[in-house]
Chain A
């Protein structure tokens, strides 16, 4: 069966510090991968998605970036965090191919920027 991992689970960082959040998927090949951010009272916002290694699409302009160095690894980064980057970050995956319409979410990372 497929599983999705995220780490760290929680993170407290000062403004201006760098960020690296990692997401890995097991039990599937060539998944589509997604990063979402959930801020209080604002629902989920899609940040990035990837259909393959090195292929990243950005949905929202911001000081965050994403990379996919391996097939089942998705990394969210920032060079300098802002207060507004605080939130709950969720990684998700979906299978590729016809009829694939469900996204499966990881446990999330709670980021607090002080």
Chain B
């Protein structure tokens, strides 16, 4: 079974600083990987996804992630943090669930705080 590990349950950065949220995956097949963002008391919104095309994936709100097979990583970055980036971020890997469907296996999330 596939799995993801997010290093750091809480990350704090200053406004304008680099954001780096770490995700490592475990998969026996080429993975499909996702990053979602969740604002308080809201659902999850897709930031970006990797589906075996370009290894550097650009998403919404200035975020991007790089797939590194040798490191089994899919870290999320943003060059300059904004106050509005404060949220919880989830990394996920696609896994076949059977019956023509699939499931997403999520990491435990990283809560990002942005300090003014």
- Chain A, residues 27-59, CB within 8 Å of chain B (1/0): the string is 000001010000001111010011100010101
A96 to B94: give the CA distance in the assembly, Å.
Answer: 14
A44 to B51: give the CA distance in the assembly, Å.
Answer: 21
**For A49, what are the chain B residues with a Cβ–Cβ distance below 8 Å?**
97, 101, 103
Contact A105 to B44, CB < 8 A, known contacts A43-B106, A43-B108, A43-B109 = yes
**For A41, what are the chain B residues with a Cβ–Cβ distance below 8 Å?**
9, 108
**For A92, what are the chain B residues with a Cβ–Cβ distance below 8 Å?**
44
A94 to B32: give the CA distance in the assembly, Å.
Answer: 15
A103 to B44: give the CA distance in the assembly, Å.
Answer: 9
| Inter-subunit contact B44/A101 (CB<8 Å) | no
**For A2, what are the chain B residues with a Cβ–Cβ distance below 8 Å?**
none
- Chain A, residues 87-108, CB within 8 Å of chain B (1/0): the string is 0101010101000011111111
**For B109, what are the chain A residues with a Cβ–Cβ distance below 8 Å?**
43
A102 to B102: give the CA distance in the assembly, Å.
Answer: 10
Q: Is B49 an interface residue (CB 8 A)?
A: yes
| Inter-subunit contact A104/B41 (CB<8 Å) | no
A59 to B44: give the CA distance in the assembly, Å.
Answer: 20
| Inter-subunit contact B108/A105 (CB<8 Å) | no
| Inter-subunit contact B108/A110 (CB<8 Å) | no
Other contacts beyond A57-B99, A102-B46, A105-B36: 11, CB < 8 A: A43-B109, A46-B103, A49-B103, A51-B99, A57-B101, A88-B41, A101-B51, A104-B46, A106-B43, A108-B42, A108-B43
> Which residues on B are within 8 Å of A, measured CB to CB?
9, 32, 34, 36, 41-46, 49, 51, 90, 94, 97-109
13 A–B pairs (Cβ distance < 8 Å), ordered by A: A42-B108, A43-B106, A44-B104, A46-B103, A49-B103, A50-B101, A51-B100, A57-B97, A57-B98, A94-B102, A102-B46, A105-B36, A105-B43
